[in-house]
Amino acid sequence: MDNAGVILCQDLNREVTEALNLCAPDKLFILSDETTQALCYPLLHNIDVLKHAHQIVIKTGDIHKNLETLSYVWQSLSDNGATRHSLLLCLGGGMVTDLGGFAASTFKRGINYINIPTTLLAMVDAAVGGKTAINFNGLKNEIGVFQPAFRVLIETEFLRTLDAHNLFSGYAEMLKHGLISNYETLNELLAFDITNIDYNLLKQLVGKSISVKESIVQKDPKEQGIRKALNLGHTIGHAFESLALSRLHPVLHGYAVAWGLVCELYLSYANVQFPRDVMRRVIHFIHENYGSFIFTCDDYEELYQFMLHDKKNKGGVINFTLLNDVGELRLNQTASQGLIYETLDFYRECMGI
């Protein structure tokens, strides 16, 4: 696969070398967090073109995807002589590719960057499509730019380093891609044994999932229309994520998306007649594998306020991407505050909280 610079690697050494030779940076910097530096960088250390790269290591976790960390990356680039012709290689999960892409896109008005995503979530979502961002003022991805990576190199061998929670986190985005594409893909994903992983089959599913996202991004790189399809599950999912962050108990992005899918499939059922049986199948899969996000009716107003801050909104009206069947999109949908609260009631009932 080579769609807009996204390459499903057969030989990571060769793909990294070819990408760097093509870009020919005057200086090379590798950004990783403490976890990927320990677990993933060893897979790169024998690649000759990386031998003299300058390492920038940041703290692990979305809680550090902030202005302070961004400033540290800028400072490291500046102190070590980065120019407009330098390159930042982002090795890590979505936090690293989001923040690293933003750092590169703004340093000296923009230097090239390459993403090597190491988590399933980053491979199928964060590292692909050119969205970069940091969290700000308690809000997810509040400050950022659209700027595609020079290359995104997908090496699924990194997935063997992942714990189950991070695998499930990425798998939620794959489920979303299945829902917005077709029944065949969705059924494959619901049938895949994620507790006893066949990594060769997972590689094929990852390739399909990236193709779904890339085909949409190419049609609409800056989210003016069809790219909003990728927001399914995210309006309410981001609200869950922001509430968890405000409690200082952050949750993995993919878990928030999975819980958001439960809500937005119900909204799809209530608003545009999404099939009840398909909704129940997907919710059962999510309940079995993701557990529940715990909140009470006392949290509804705060969750609603987080939804009002969503970047996709226009004129203060909360914007949803819904489905009236698998692969049949309904963009720019709205819902009353009462229906949103009813949806939160449904979530708490069907998820057993």
- 223 pLDDT higher than 90: no
pLDDT of residue 1: 40
The label of the residue with tokens 């090496």 reads: 155
- Residues forming the active site: 109, 131, 173, 213, 223, 227, 231, 234, 238, 253
Candidate CATH numbers 3.30.1360.120, 3.40.50.1970, 2.60.40.10, 3.90.226.10; the one for domain 2-161: 3.40.50.1970
pLDDT of residue 99: 98
Write the DSSP assignment of 67-106 as a string of letters: HHHHHHHHHHHHHTT--TT-EEEEEESHHHHHHHHHHHHH
| 307-325 average pLDDT score | 90
In this structure, are residues 245 and 140 in contact, taking their beta carbons and an 8 Å threshold? yes
C-alpha distances (whole Å) from 62 to each of 23, 34, 123, 124 are 30, 13, 17, 18
Distance CA 243, CA 241 (A): 6
Q: What are phi and psi of 277, to 5 degrees?
A: -70, -40
pLDDT of residue 3: 43
Distance CA 291, CA 252 (A): 12
234-288 pLDDT tens trace? 999 999 999 998 998 989 999 999 999 999 999 999 999 999 999 999 999 999 9
CATH number of 164-350: 1.20.1090.10
Reduced to 3 states (helix: H, G, I; strand: E, B; else coil), residue 29 is strand
Confidence band (pLDDT; 50, 70, 90) for 319? very high
pLDDT of residue 322: 98
The domain limits of the chain are 2-161, 164-350
- 219 pLDDT higher than 60: yes
Provide CB contacts within 8 A for 66, sequence distance 6+: 134, 135, 136
> Across all residues in the chain, what is the average pLDDT?
95
